């Protein structure tokens, strides 16, 4: 049976996943399919083209912490219940290029977890793939040159074309070298993914701040799909990052003033505050002797207490930090001690993507 329609749903911070969606959409149109490319958020409420085997669907999203971003998992779970469409999951991941060498990213468990959620909702999940697009994680490393980005993007486009050929010949796409690679790394790194979803993403969200170039235009707030920015201030509104931030990098890359930094010196301070071994202190206060219990129970008790401490610790610290940033000298100090402020560091966006296309 031929597909008659294609619905491609994407969530994208800096345009990579959006770009992959447009390539798939173009190939679907060339095959004569009635095609729609919509954001994952809209897919929750809008009618998805015909249910059943005639409907082809793809979910495209970035990799965060070797798995799918929390927002993607949550939104996929809210998609309309079972329409029996054939679904494919595509995760874009951080490709790098050094000289002639292309280094693949690690999508890990992302596509499989999304596939599992869709399966539980009654979709017929037919395959998964990781696609290397340029790494957008510029709070972690400086971005690569445009030539390297273009080479990685060209390669990805060819890969997506090969994938689409298989999809439209009704093949299932599970047993591939790429998926074997992801299963191995997804399993080995699963503890990092869990730690990322439970703690890491909240920590990363609290590294963002606006430097003194911010003019309070509010573009970052209006375009954040997870509504993670609140504009706050007395004389002038400036952005405040909430817990819901997914660190997708959209606000930082599309800020017209280039005013959004990921604070590295602040990150070091926040790390020491949030990693304070409060459990040992609290337990000793109430006269609890950790030596009395086995090491497994001991580490469980300590981890639970440390986690309970972690969330308010970063929340309160960030709140105080945001107040201090209003003092020009403090803002200047943190701005000039973060690497994202270095002139060569840069901010990544998929070169052809415009901000308005991402919502
Ligand atoms: C917070 C964060 C975490 C990331 N984690 C990973 C990862 O674990 N593995 C990987 O290959 N790429 C990782 N990346 C890179 C992105 O997944 C990749 O560049 C993706 O193509 C970005 O897509 P987008 O532009 O649609 O958001 C990460 C990026 C960010 C910002
Ligand atoms: S987009 Fe940039 S300049 Fe505008 S409010 Fe946000 S941080 Fe400030
Ligand atoms: S606040 Fe910025 S980085 Fe965080 S989710 Fe929104 S757009 Fe992405």
* Residue 296 confidence (pLDDT) above 80: no
Query: 289-323 in b/e burial notation, b at 16+ Cβ within 10 A?
Result: eeeeeeeeebeebbeebbeebbeebbeebbeebbe
User: What rounded mean pLDDT belongs to the chain?
Assistant: 91
What is the reported pLDDT for 348?
A: 96
* Residue 104 confidence (pLDDT) above 90: yes
Would you say 217 and 256 are in contact if contact means Cβ atoms under 8 Å apart?
A: yes
What is the reported pLDDT for 297?
A: 66
* Residue 169 confidence (pLDDT) above 80: yes
Separation in Å, CA 133 to CA 65, 157, 189: 16, 9, 21
Nearest CA to ligand 2 atom 4: 217
Ligand closest to 195 (CA) is: 1
Domains and CATH numbers, the chain: 5-193 (3.40.50.360), 199-341 (3.30.70.20)
List the one residue out of 238, 262, 245 whose CA is nearest residue 345. 262
Tell how far the Cα of 241 is from the centroid of ligand 3, in angstroms.
Answer: 8
Nearest CA to ligand 2 atom 6: 220
**Ligand 1 lined by 17 (C-beta under 6 Å):** yes
Tell how far the Cα of 245 is from the centroid of ligand 3, in angstroms.
Answer: 5
Q: How far apart are CA 7 and CA 102, in angstroms?
A: 31
**Ligand 1 lined by 93 (C-beta under 6 Å):** yes
Tell how far the Cα of 60 is from the centroid of ligand 1, in angstroms.
Answer: 12
Q: Which residues contact 293 (CB under 8 A, 6 or more apart)?
A: 301
pLDDT in tens, 111-125: 999 999 999 988 889
Burial-class residue 101 by CB neighbours within 10 Å (0-12, 13-18, 19+). exposed
* Residue 279 confidence (pLDDT) above 80: no
* Residue 192 confidence (pLDDT) above 70: yes
List the one residue out of 306, 358, 356, 350 whose CA is nearest residue 92. 350
Q: How far apart are CA 288 and CA 305, in angstroms?
A: 13
* Residue 147 confidence (pLDDT) above 90: yes
Q: Which residues contact 87 (CB under 8 A, 6 or more apart)?
A: 57, 58, 59, 115, 118, 123, 124, 125, 126
Q: How far apart are CA 55 and CA 48, in angstroms?
A: 9
Alpha helix positions (H), the chain = 16-30, 40-45, 70-77, 110-120, 146-168, 177-188, 190-195, 201-205, 219-223, 250-254, 264-274, 278-285, 295-324, 328-336
How large is the average pLDDT for residues 283-303?
A: 67
The number of beta carbons lying within 10 Å of the beta carbon of residue 193 is: 21
Tell how far the Cα of 314 is from the centroid of ligand 2, in angstroms.
Answer: 23
**Ligand 1 lined by 105 (C-beta under 6 Å):** yes
Would you say 88 and 20 are in contact if contact means Cβ atoms under 8 Å apart?
A: no
Nearest CA to ligand 3 atom 2: 251
Q: Which residues line ligand 2 (CB under 6 A)?
A: 210, 214-220, 239, 255, 257, 259-260
**Ligand 3 lined by 248 (C-beta under 6 Å):** yes
* Residue 101, SS3 per DSSP: strand
Tell how far the Cα of 284 is from the centroid of ligand 1, in angstroms.
Answer: 41
Provide the percentage of residues in the chain whose pLDDT is more than 70.
91
* Residue 97 confidence (pLDDT) above 80: yes
pLDDT in tens, 24-74: 999 999 999 999 999 999 887 766 766 667 888 999 999 999 999 999 999
Q: E strand or H helix at 327, and its extent?
A: none
How large is the average pLDDT for residues 239-255?
A: 96
Q: What is the pTM assigned to this prediction?
A: 0.94
């Amino acid at each position: 049976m031929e597909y008659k329609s294609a619905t491609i749903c994407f969530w994208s911070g800096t345009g990579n996943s959006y770009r992959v969606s447009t390539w798939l959409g173009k190939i679907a149109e060339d095959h004569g399919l009635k095609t729609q490319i919509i954001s994952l958020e809209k897919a929750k409420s809008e009618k998805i083209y015909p249910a059943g085997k005639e409907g082809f669907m793809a979910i495209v999203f970035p990799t965060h912490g070797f798995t799918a971003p929390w927002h993607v998992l949550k939104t996929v779970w809210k998609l309309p219940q079972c329409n029996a469409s054939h679904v494919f999951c595509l995760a874009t991941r951080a490709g790098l290029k050094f000289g002639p060498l292309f280094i693949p990213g690690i999508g890990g468990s992302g596509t499989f977890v999304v596939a599992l959620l869709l399966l539980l909702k009654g979709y017929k999940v037919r395959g998964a793939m990781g696609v290397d697009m340029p790494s957008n994680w510029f709070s972690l490393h400086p971005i690569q040159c445009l030539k390297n980005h273009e080479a990685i993007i060209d390669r990805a486009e060819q890969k997506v074309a090969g994938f689409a050929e298989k999809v439209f010949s009704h093949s299932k796409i599970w047993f591939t070298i790429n998926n074997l690679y992801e299963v191995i790394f997804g399993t080995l790194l699963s503890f990092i993914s869990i730690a990322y979803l439970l703690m890491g993403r909240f920590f990363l969200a609290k590294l963002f701040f606006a430097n003194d170039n911010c003019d309070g235009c509010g573009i970052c707030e209006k375009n954040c799909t997870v509504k993670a920015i609140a504009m706050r201030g007395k004389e002038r509104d400036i952005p405040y990052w909430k817990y819901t931030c997914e660190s997708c990098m959209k606000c930082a890359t599309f800020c017209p003033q280039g005013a959004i930094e990921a604070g590295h010196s602040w990150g070091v301070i926040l790390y020491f505050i949030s990693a304070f071994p409060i459990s040992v202190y609290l337990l000793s206060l109430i006269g609890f002797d950790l030596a009395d219990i086995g090491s497994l129970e001991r580490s469980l008790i300590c981890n639970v207490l440390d986690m309970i401490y972690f969330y308010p610790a970063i929340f309160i610290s960030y709140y105080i930090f945001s107040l201090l940033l209003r003092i020009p000298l403090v803002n200047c100090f943190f701005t000039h001690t973060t690497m994202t402020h270095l002139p060569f560091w840069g901010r990544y966006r998929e070169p052809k993507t415009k901000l308005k296309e991402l919502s």
